[in-house]
Structure 1
Amino acid sequence: MVDNSNAYPDIDDSLSGSSLDANKSLFGKYTTEFDNEIIYIDSSDWRDSNFLKFQIISGYLVFILFGLAEQTVGTLIPKFQEHYKINDIQASFVFLASVAGYFIMAFLSDLSHTNLGVKGVLVMGTVSMTFAYLGISTYPPFAAVVFLYIFHGVGLGSIDASLGMWMGKLVDSNEVLGILHGCYGIGCMISPTLITSLLERKTHPWAWPQYYLVLSCLGAGCVILMIVAFKNETPKKYRYTSMTSSKSTSEVELEDLSGDNGSGSTSSSPPVDDDSLEHSSASFGEVVRSLQIWLFALFLFTYVGNEVAFGSWSISFLTRVKSLSYEESSHLTSTFWAGLTAGRIILGFVTLRVFNTELTANFAYTILTFLGYFSFWLMSLGSNTSLLYPVAFFTGCFVGPIFPTTIISSLKTLPAKYHTAGIGFICAFGGGGGAVIPFLIGLVAESPLGLDLFPVIISMIAGLNSFMWVVLIKKYGSNYSANKL
């Protein structure tokens, strides 16, 4: 073990030299040598570290780009069909390509983190996204667009799994993750209105590929941001933290505070036995054999798929079935994403102040989500489309907190050895639903009943989500521990 008093010169400007040594144990910051590398461990409490705040904000900015990119496809489906002369099934191949990328990351999440570290995975994800959008901005053939969306899926899967796992272990994880996924909602909320305003301008309207050039420029900025913000998140640090996470919270807290022994002296970092750590983190094989992980992953698969499908196909549904204009339809979709953003940010602070646990909170959110989608279906049968706006907003509010609350619930019910590979798999596999279900709805759209079935399918999947959460509570609720993070 080594003690480096200059390990965090940029974490808190008020801490330098001996003052860092005096406050290191208090803030949970320390350095250690692991596998011939100096590992920098920062506080997990954003209040205690300016650098951690910078990392969190950087993650938020990337998730805004995530939302902008994710909702771009749904908004541009009518433009794709007009430009490439394709039908709904052909347009849906974009979603299928995206899910291929997502599933690649679902199955390689732990392997990629082990070999690249959190920084490497985030850089790989942002580079992959940027490459995809830059390619699409060149007016390629539709087959090339589909191929490039594989890289889009790899990018989103990398970012989703990595930041979800990393932030899920921070102090105030409900709030921090809620805002993270709220930033995704901000991107989704902005995208339809922004694209419509640019493409439907009366003077000098944009062509749709130009918007992808904007995304690629934003992506390039995010690449630089990830390199700087996560510079200390190396592969060896990932391996070290993965192994130490198998210890109970009480043990970790005692070790973090062991520098203060009552005499005012401080020690270096908590001792770690390399041999004892070798088998403390679950392998990928163990992860995919866990029924509990698969249940969480399938729950998120259907939940995310439903959320993205609603945002992706609602514009087509409203223009074709309800005869709304392209601009009106995009505004209604933005209303849904505005509700989702508000729900993720606000309800993240409400969850444990109203409900006993995240498990009961998520059950309430899934029921209210089902009622929201069902109400949208009923309202869409009538002729008064103005009622769809408040319904879409309030539905989005309750859809919003489900993803972050599910991540926290899985962390508090899964054994500690699954907290790295398992959470990464759950996030990436769950995110794949955001491509599969929109693709399946595209298949339905070409059937004789067409998009008339869209709100029915959305409601049925929401009902299935509620049932799946009841199964999770019944089967694993007894494992819940508020002290597992």
Structure 2
Amino acid sequence: MTIFLLGIIYLAFISLGLPDSLLGVAWPAMQSDYGAPLETAGFLFMMIAGCTIISSLISGKILKRFGTGHVTFVSCLMTAIALLGFYFAPSLVWLMVCTIPLGLGAGSVDSGLNDYVAKHYKAHHMSWLHCFWGVGATFGPIIMAQFIAEQNSWRNGYFAISGIQFALVVILFFTLPLWNRRGKNSHIPLNEEPEDSKDVFSNENDHHVKPLQIKGVKLSLISFLFYCGVEATMGLWGSSFLVNVKELSVAVAAQWVSFYYAGITIGRFITGFITFKMSNRTLIRMGQIIALFGAILLFLPLPSIFSLIAFIIVGLGLAPIFPCMLHETPTRFGKRHSQTIMGYQMAIAYTGSTFMPPILGFIASHSTIGIFPFCMVVFVAAMLMSSENLNRLLKKKILLKKKDTSSIVS
């Protein structure tokens, strides 16, 4: 039953990823149907992400009261209804209404499932959990592209994804008893940490310091801000860039964006194995360098095929960054404050995905979507710089701690 429930959780994360990539790839066709300006997609995306932030902030109380299973079931039901609403929406006003349950459902199920897996399953499942989000985010554009290419209908694409969500809702309804049973019978330690993940940066005096006053926390928040800014902006505006600048068809652009999410998915699956041999810090650095190389490749005036390669490289580079940064939190700042700082990081992450894509869309609507690759280079470079500054700060901290320890011993 344990393995079966884990499979259900992975399916739920697939459903979480399916709608995340739909708006960006469908927007060129939706924009034409509604006669809306380019930046409207950014505002719709911002409404979804804003509702996700609200849902995430209140998810703790809701999860404690109703349990992860029931919250996941209701959240997926809300998502399915919202996607069906996109299919029927006669105007932009109705699209805006549908973004509310879509965002609220996504936030609760994201927080609930991450917390549940962290408590009841071994640590490497976290990378694979986010890998299955990538499976959904990859197949979403593929399904949408198929309907746009064959039937010239983005609405039918939303209808199909909604049907998949409703199927998962049925599965979740009949497996609700397993969640409580798993919670009562769980004997797996909360975190089986490898030796290099021990809390080496904590200080006995840290409990007198507010979490935001701990050295390095603000640099970590900047890294999360730009990571989610890159991931969300690539997904939302990548298709519009390929259509308007590289002059690809909407269907082909949607397929190419799906390769970007495929890069994230495959990368996270591989990362789950590499974490046994390589530290989180090394994986974060390597991922950021690879993503920067992909963004630079996208920026260069090369033939269209290089844009496809660039999308894949950026996806592969982003793959290990988010799960590894989350896992590094107690190592970086100590277990005493890790839960609070984790909440800050998630809030800033959602802020990045909420505001950075619309800002780019607003600027692009008053200039050109051709600024997209330049912004990607800047965002990834900012993430890398803040992360490396944090590493240097923590390195100094551990050297000082070792020096103090040796002086006490002597």
Q: Does TM-score exceed 0.5, indicating one fold?
A: yes
For 1:358, the equivalent position in structure 2 comes to 280
Once the 2 structures are TM-superposed, how far is the Cα of residue 60 of structure 1 from its aligned partner? 1.5
Is 2:126 the partner of 1:208? no
Residue pair 2:148, 2:157 contacting (<8 A) in 1 also: no
For 2:329, the equivalent position in structure 1 comes to 410
Corresponding residue to 2:384 among 466, 472, 478: 466
Amino acid at match of 1:76: A
**3-state SS of 2:106 partner:** helix
Amino acid at match of 1:442: G
> What is the alpha-carbon distance in structure 1 between the residues aligned to residue 335 and residue 171 of structure 2?
30
> What is the alpha-carbon distance in structure 1 between the residues aligned to residue 217 and residue 172 of structure 2?
28
Corresponding residue to 1:177 among 117, 126, 130: 126
- TM-aligned CA distance change 1:119 to 1:375, over 3 Å: same
Once the 2 structures are TM-superposed, how far is the Cα of residue 140 of structure 1 from its aligned partner? 3.3
For 1:315, the equivalent position in structure 2 comes to 239
Once the 2 structures are TM-superposed, how far is the Cα of residue 180 of structure 1 from its aligned partner? 1.7
> What is the alpha-carbon distance in structure 2 between the residues aligned to residue 297 and residue 124 of structure 1?
31
> Which protein shows a greater Rg?
1
Amino acid at match of 1:319: V
Amino acid at match of 1:385: S
Please give the TM-score of this superposition, normalised by the length of structure 1. Answer: 0.70
Residue segments in structure 1 that go unaligned for 5+ positions in a row: 1-50, 251-281, 480-485
> What is the alpha-carbon distance in structure 2 between the residues aligned to residue 73 and residue 158 of structure 1?
20
Amino acid at match of 1:63: F
- TM-aligned CA distance change 1:58 to 1:292, over 3 Å: farther
Corresponding residue to 1:195 among 144, 147, 169: 144
Is 2:3 the partner of 1:57? no
> What is the alpha-carbon distance in structure 2 between the residues aligned to residue 142 and residue 119 of structure 1?
33
**3-state SS of 1:173 partner:** coil
Corresponding residue to 1:440 among 359, 362, 367: 359
For 2:60, the equivalent position in structure 1 comes to 110
Residue pair 2:74, 2:105 contacting (<8 A) in 1 also: yes
Corresponding residue to 1:100 among 25, 40, 50: 50
Moved more, 75-84 or 116-125: 116-125
- 1:312-349, Cα deviation, whole Å (9 max, x unpaired): 21111111111122233223212222222111111221
Corresponding residue to 1:346 among 262, 267, 270: 270
Once the 2 structures are TM-superposed, how far is the Cα of residue 429 of structure 1 from its aligned partner? 4.5
Amino acid at match of 1:359: R
Q: State how many pairs are aligned.
A: 379
Residue pair 2:25, 2:253 contacting (<8 A) in 1 also: no
Once the 2 structures are TM-superposed, how far is the Cα of residue 306 of structure 1 from its aligned partner? 0.9
Moved more, 306-315 or 184-193: 184-193
> What is the alpha-carbon distance in structure 2 between the residues aligned to residue 117 and residue 228 of structure 1?
15
Is 2:322 the partner of 1:377? no
Once the 2 structures are TM-superposed, how far is the Cα of residue 445 of structure 1 from its aligned partner? 1.6
Residue pair 1:168, 1:408 contacting (<8 A) in 2 also: no
Amino acid at match of 2:115: M
Amino acid at match of 2:349: G
Amino acid at match of 2:373: P
For 1:143, the equivalent position in structure 2 comes to 93
> What is the alpha-carbon distance in structure 1 between the residues aligned to residue 48 and residue 354 of structure 2?
6
- TM-aligned CA distance change 1:470 to 1:402, over 3 Å: same
Once the 2 structures are TM-superposed, how far is the Cα of residue 474 of structure 1 from its aligned partner? 3.8
Please give the TM-score of this superposition, normalised by the length of structure 2. Answer: 0.82
Residue pair 2:264, 2:317 contacting (<8 A) in 1 also: yes
Aligned alpha-carbon RMSD (Å): 3.2
- TM-aligned CA distance change 1:190 to 1:152, over 3 Å: same
Is 2:75 the partner of 1:128? no
Once the 2 structures are TM-superposed, how far is the Cα of residue 458 of structure 1 from its aligned partner? 0.9
Once the 2 structures are TM-superposed, how far is the Cα of residue 87 of structure 1 from its aligned partner? 0.5
- TM-aligned CA distance change 1:293 to 1:153, over 3 Å: farther
> What is the alpha-carbon distance in structure 2 between the residues aligned to residue 232 and residue 187 of structure 1?
23
> What is the alpha-carbon distance in structure 1 between the residues aligned to residue 119 and residue 85 of structure 2?
36
**Aligned ranges for residues 1-400 of structure 1 at < 5 Å?**
51-169=1-119, 172-174=122-124, 176-201=125-150, 205=151, 207-229=153-175, 231=177, 296-353=220-277, 355=278, 357-378=279-300, 381-382=301-302, 384-400=303-319
Percent of residue pairs bearing the same amino acid type: 21
- 1:107-131, Cα deviation, whole Å (9 max, x unpaired): 2232333333322432342122122
> What is the alpha-carbon distance in structure 1 between the residues aligned to residue 393 and residue 174 of structure 2?
42
> What is the alpha-carbon distance in structure 2 between the residues aligned to residue 367 and residue 333 of structure 1?
21
> What is the alpha-carbon distance in structure 1 between the residues aligned to residue 327 and residue 257 of structure 2?
28
**3-state SS of 1:88 partner:** coil
Once the 2 structures are TM-superposed, how far is the Cα of residue 197 of structure 1 from its aligned partner? 1.7
Moved more, 192-201 or 293-302: 293-302
